[in-house]
Chain A
Amino acid sequence: MTAITAASKDLASCHLCYKLAPATEHHCPRCGSTMHLRKTASIQRTLALLITASILYIPANVLPIMITDQLGSAEPSTILGGVVLLIELGSAPIAAIIFIASVMVPLSKLFALFYLCWCVEKQAKTSNQQNTAMFRMAEFVGKWSMIDVFVVAILVALVNLGGLMAIRPGTAALAFAGVVIVTMVAAESFDPRLMWDQTEENNE
């Protein structure tokens, strides 16, 4: 099957308004955003951002995400500590949500994007359909990891009973927000069309 792509017709598609224009154009004739046939230095940028996110992921998990002050004693809790506590308290479903949103999703997103970059770099023979689905998943779950940061923000604002009980935010919350934002930008800078370009070349 020879697929008719925009690139094969020497057309570039505007990433913002989807306008098709000759690949030689630097700015979209319709909306004025910068135009590229493929995103510039896509793999390098994505990898750089992924490494940043991986480094940020360490303080996000090691440092406390929130500190509970109860009757004069301060009790710091990390992300995983919070999950364990929730299981002990008997709310397994919520523990599962937190575990999936703040541990599994960011980790699998990092691994998925690393894997996709590796596939493009090494020109690995993999299924494009599958890889595209994986990329779309990584892109979709992007902002959902932010749940944990919002939970901290809500608890801090809500639980404030003076000396009796209060919740303070921990440094990990900021690091974790950083992980989410950086991986979102990483997913945005990855160009899934690079995967399909290879099959085009292989067919020829």
Chain B
Amino acid sequence: MKQTNNNDSVNKQSFLVACPSCDLLADTSHLKHGETANCARCDHFLCQYKDDGIARSLSYSLSALVLLALACSFPFLSFKASGLESVMTLPQTALRLYDYGMTELSILVAAFILVIPLVILLLLLAICIPLYNNTPNPMLVKTGRMVFTLQHWAMAEVFLIGVIVSLVKIASMATVVLGISFWAYAGFTICFTLALSNLDRVQCWNAIEHLTAEPSS
């Protein structure tokens, strides 16, 4: 991840960014570790430079993957009233909708809370491992495109707030117990958000470009 050491002139060029919100050009080559660049005209966030961004993203993705596996394998919430109990697991949020004949909705829910976050995590690993090890990989460009296209559509954090809202909604009707899975999913949401936010778009693409261009030059 020491892009500034070699090919300085090429990298200066690629650190020139046009604000996606107002098109003003900004030079981000002077950024040091931890510094962020915002657009001078409209204040839109442009990028944040981190020396160890890839390593951070990689470790958070791995933790998130483990926590997601835990979240899917234990009871999520349980609900007790009048001596009866019903226990739900995370995949059941989508499966029960399917049982009631709302196939489209169950697919959407499964995609937003489980499938898309999982796919993003796997793609993040597929990007971060080659970048971390400096090994060129022909799939890097495709993987990068998929990550940055999909990332708006992961709604783990929204789901977590939804869980809290539903807890309060039914807490008066019966006893609700939080399962292991709930805490695992909460941890997963945090790691997932950190994994994505540590992968800076400008820095990541410069690194991909640098790595994929190497063999031909």
Q: Is A18 a contact of B202 with CB atoms below 8 Å?
A: yes
Which A1-34 residues sit within 8 Å CB-CB of chain B?
A: 3-7, 9, 11, 13, 15-20, 30-33
**A147 vs B163: C-alpha distance when bound (angstroms):** 9
| B2 at interface by CB-CB < 8 Å | no
- The segment from B120-128, B131-139, B152-160, B186-194 that touches chain A is B152-160
Interface on chain B toward A: helix, strand, loop, or mixed SS? helix
Q: Is B155 a contact of A146 with CB atoms below 8 Å?
A: yes
Instruction: Tell me which residues across on chain A come within 8 A of B93, comparing CB atoms.
Output: 150, 153-154, 156-157
Instruction: Tell me which residues across on chain A come within 8 A of B29, comparing CB atoms.
Output: none
| A89 at interface by CB-CB < 8 Å | yes
Chain B residue, CB-CB nearest to A163: B84
Q: Is A20 a contact of B165 with CB atoms below 8 Å?
A: no
Chain B residue, CB-CB nearest to A37: B23
Instruction: Tell me which residues across on chain A come within 8 A of B209, comparing CB atoms.
Output: 19, 30
Q: Which of B17, B94, B102 contacts A18 (CB 8 A)?
A: B17
| A107 at interface by CB-CB < 8 Å | no
Instruction: Tell me which residues across on chain A come within 8 A of B205, comparing CB atoms.
Output: 17-19, 30-31
Q: Which of B78, B141, B169 contacts A86 (CB 8 A)?
A: B169
> Given A150-B162, A158-B166, A160-B86, A32–B155 Cβ distance below 8 Å?
no
Q: Is A20 a contact of B86 with CB atoms below 8 Å?
A: no
Q: Which of B22, B43, B112, B141 contacts A32 (CB 8 A)?
A: B141
**A89 vs B144: C-alpha distance when bound (angstroms):** 48
> Given A31-B205, A164-B81, A173-B105, A98–B42 Cβ distance below 8 Å?
no
Q: Is B25 a contact of A33 with CB atoms below 8 Å?
A: no
**Could you say which of B25, B79, B92 has the most chain A C-beta atoms within 10 Å of its C-beta?**
B25
Instruction: Tell me which residues across on chain B come within 8 A of A132, comparing CB atoms.
Output: 21-22, 42, 44
Q: Is B23 a contact of A144 with CB atoms below 8 Å?
A: no
**A20 vs B19: C-alpha distance when bound (angstroms):** 11
> Given A20-B16, A150-B109, A160–B21 Cβ distance below 8 Å?
no
Number of A residues contacting the other chain (C-beta, 8 Å)?
A: 64
Instruction: Tell me which residues across on chain B come within 8 A of A142, comparing CB atoms.
Output: 152
Q: Is A16 a contact of B81 with CB atoms below 8 Å?
A: no
Which A133-183 residues sit within 8 Å CB-CB of chain B?
A: 135-136, 142-144, 146-151, 153-162, 164-165, 168-169, 173-174, 177, 181
**Could you say which of B78, B94, B165 has the most chain A C-beta atoms within 10 Å of its C-beta?**
B165
Chain B interface extent, by class = 35 or more
A-B contact pairs, 20 of them (CB 8 A): A5-B22, A5-B25, A6-B23, A15-B20, A17-B148, A17-B201, A91-B169, A91-B172, A136-B44, A146-B158, A149-B105, A153-B109, A154-B93, A157-B95, A158-B79, A174-B102, A192-B22, A193-B21, A196-B22, A197-B23
A157-B88, A192-B21 known; 5 other A-B pairs, CB under 8 Å? A7-B23, A18-B205, A132-B22, A154-B77, A161-B85
Residues of chain B whose beta carbon lies under 8 Å from any beta carbon of chain A: 14, 16-18, 20-25, 41-44, 77-79, 81-82, 84-86, 88, 92-97, 100, 102, 104-105, 108-109, 112-113, 141, 144-145, 148-149, 152-153, 155, 158-159, 161-163, 165-166, 168-170, 172-173, 176, 201-202, 205, 208-209
Residues of chain A whose beta carbon lies under 8 Å from any beta carbon of chain B: 3-7, 9, 11, 13, 15-20, 30-33, 86, 89, 91, 93-94, 97-98, 128-129, 132, 135-136, 142-144, 146-151, 153-162, 164-165, 168-169, 173-174, 177, 181, 184, 188, 192-193, 195-197
Shortest beta-carbon contacts, A-B, top 6: A150-B162, A6-B18, A13-B18, A17-B205, A5-B23, A157-B96
